[in-house]
Copies of this chain bind each other. A is one copy, B any other.
Amino acid sequence: MKYCSNCGAEVAWTIPEGEDRHRFFCEQCKVIHYTNPRVVAGAIPVQDGKILLCRRAIEPRHGKWTLPAGYLENGESVEDCARRESLEEACAIMDNLQPYSLLNISYINQVYMIYRAHLINDDYRPGIESLEVQLFSPNALPWEDLAFPVIRKVLEMYCHDLRTEHFPFREINILPGNKEAS
């Protein structure tokens, strides 16, 4: 942020009066411009025990596999966002969405909310942001070709929980360098 979105003047990176940390602040119109983490909602769409993954047609990580997920938009619920992204990226229709995990990626200011879900349609297919979509058995996931550490972590947890069929809601912190802390 270089210019004030309210008045167009240059902004300062400073601690405004009454604040406890640096903010973008406009000294002309006195507006504080808060910047906050973004929410990403996604799903693990499951059909007959298999997990639907999408191979990315866009950067970053073009050609790598991921779960359908994307940024929460204004005016929608987190669950609706997970549904919309699955429809857009994989033409996947889901029901019985269950909140499964909250993953903080604080170093890039993202919060992931991932649902377990039943994939109910058979005509899933690539959306515009996917090269292909495919159902994978949990014992045949493309571990070497996953797009992001957060997706690896979610799939590891899911495969772990599958053994006991117990899927507790968890909050996990994803750390830089592919390390994770719970």
Binding site for B on A (CB under 8 A): 1-8, 10-11, 21, 33-39, 71-79, 99, 102, 104, 106-107, 109, 111, 113, 169, 171, 173
Contacts and interface: CB of A to CB of B under 8 A. Distances in A.
Contacts of A11: 5
A78 B173 CA distance: 10
Given A8-B8, A37-B39, A102-B113, 8 more contacts: A1-B6, A3-B6, A36-B71, A36-B74, A37-B73, A75-B106, A99-B102, A169-B169
A98 to B, nearest CB: 9
A64 B34 CA distance: 25
- What is the total number of copies of this protein in its complex? 2
A21 B171 contact: no
B171 A79 contact: yes
A22 to B, nearest CB: 10
Nearest to A18: B128
Contacts of A34: 71
